[in-house]
Amino acid sequence: MIHESSHLRRRRPARLLPLTTVAASLLAVAGVPAEEHVATFEHGAHQQQFVHGAPQEPSLEWTIAAGGRIYDTWWDALDRPKPETTNPAYPTAVNDKQSGPNTWRCKECHGWDYLGAEGLYSKGSHYTGIKGVMGAAGRPGEEIAAILRDANHPYTPEMISDEEMLRVATFISLGLTDMRAFIDYETRTVKPDAGDIDRGRALFQTICAACHGFDGRAMDWGEGDDHAFVGTEASALPDEVYNKISNAHPGAAMVNLRALSEFDRISVLAYAARLPVGLDD
């Protein structure tokens, strides 16, 4: 089973599938620490600006995607220290399964689908009873940013600056999608009629495949025999992967499709959910 990204077990960069074992044994012989080689997917100095910085003249599309990455995991998005303790605003009396850094992530209280207790987090290990952010869609960014300094949101400017808060507020205001249109909430899978598979295939093969391979298995961020490929994650956690497609994975040198239409992003998700989920598929 694939679990939702905890970002606790993700400190290790993804493995380059076919080479890992070979490289590890060769390196063991040569006496070089394997980690130096496994770090293939850590971004280089030339990508620092793209991954953590901001353009001089930010487009609306860039701003929304950057805000979406803050919503996902702000410390990875912004290259800040990860909070060590549990968020004092997190309702531990309601949910004692979550603790530590994750309780500081927007998605942990409001959901990958932005619907909070009315969405996919209406039950299960992420339940808090907190409402979603969909009700704030369309409201002015400044108004939303002000909410993000209230007692429910004990973020200091050292954690997330005012300018960065405005980015995530812009994402809430203009960047949300109602996923009930293309995800089956009973099974948490992509609906069979979602998007256009041919369009999704075209986008995947010409964009995503550069890093993930044509079958989505060039990178594996699983642990041991617990593989996690694009297909694995898209079939088990489509709401999370829709966020990654739209905004990219925070802290990784990954592209995002924010400048393309919502329908295109749904199509890529639908195609990705048909890719192999395991090693032997």
Determine which residue in the list 210, 223, 278, 281 makes contact with ligand HEC, applying CB under 6 A: 210
CA distances from 37 to 15, 27, 76 (A): 9, 9, 22
CA distances from 82 to 149, 165, 167, 183, 235 (A): 19, 17, 20, 31, 29
Q: Count CB atoms within 10 A of the CB of residue 79.
A: 12
Distance of closest approach, residue 29 Cβ to ligand HEC, in angstroms = 26
* Amino acid, res. 169: A
Site string for ligand HEC, 49-88 (x = CB under 6 A): ----------------------x---------------x-
Q: Where are the extended beta strands (E) located within 42-139?
A: none
Site string for ligand HEC, 228-257 (x = CB under 6 A): --x--x------xx--xx---x--xxxx-x
Give dist(CA 152, CA 214) in Å, integer.
43
Q: Count CB atoms within 10 A of the CB of residue 267.
A: 26
Distance of closest approach, residue 14 Cβ to ligand HEC, in angstroms = 4
Residues 121-140 that bind ligand HEC (CB under 6 A): 130-131, 133, 135-136
Enumerate residues 6+ apart whose C-beta is below 8 A from 122.
none
Distance of closest approach, residue 202 Cβ to ligand HEC, in angstroms = 12
Q: Site for ligand HEC (CB under 6 A): how many residues?
A: 48
Q: Which residues bind ligand HEC (CB under 6 A)?
A: 5, 10, 13-14, 41, 71, 87, 89-90, 103-104, 106, 108-110, 130-131, 133, 135-136, 144, 147-148, 152-153, 168, 172, 207-208, 210-212, 219, 221, 230, 233, 240-241, 244-245, 249, 252-255, 257, 268, 272
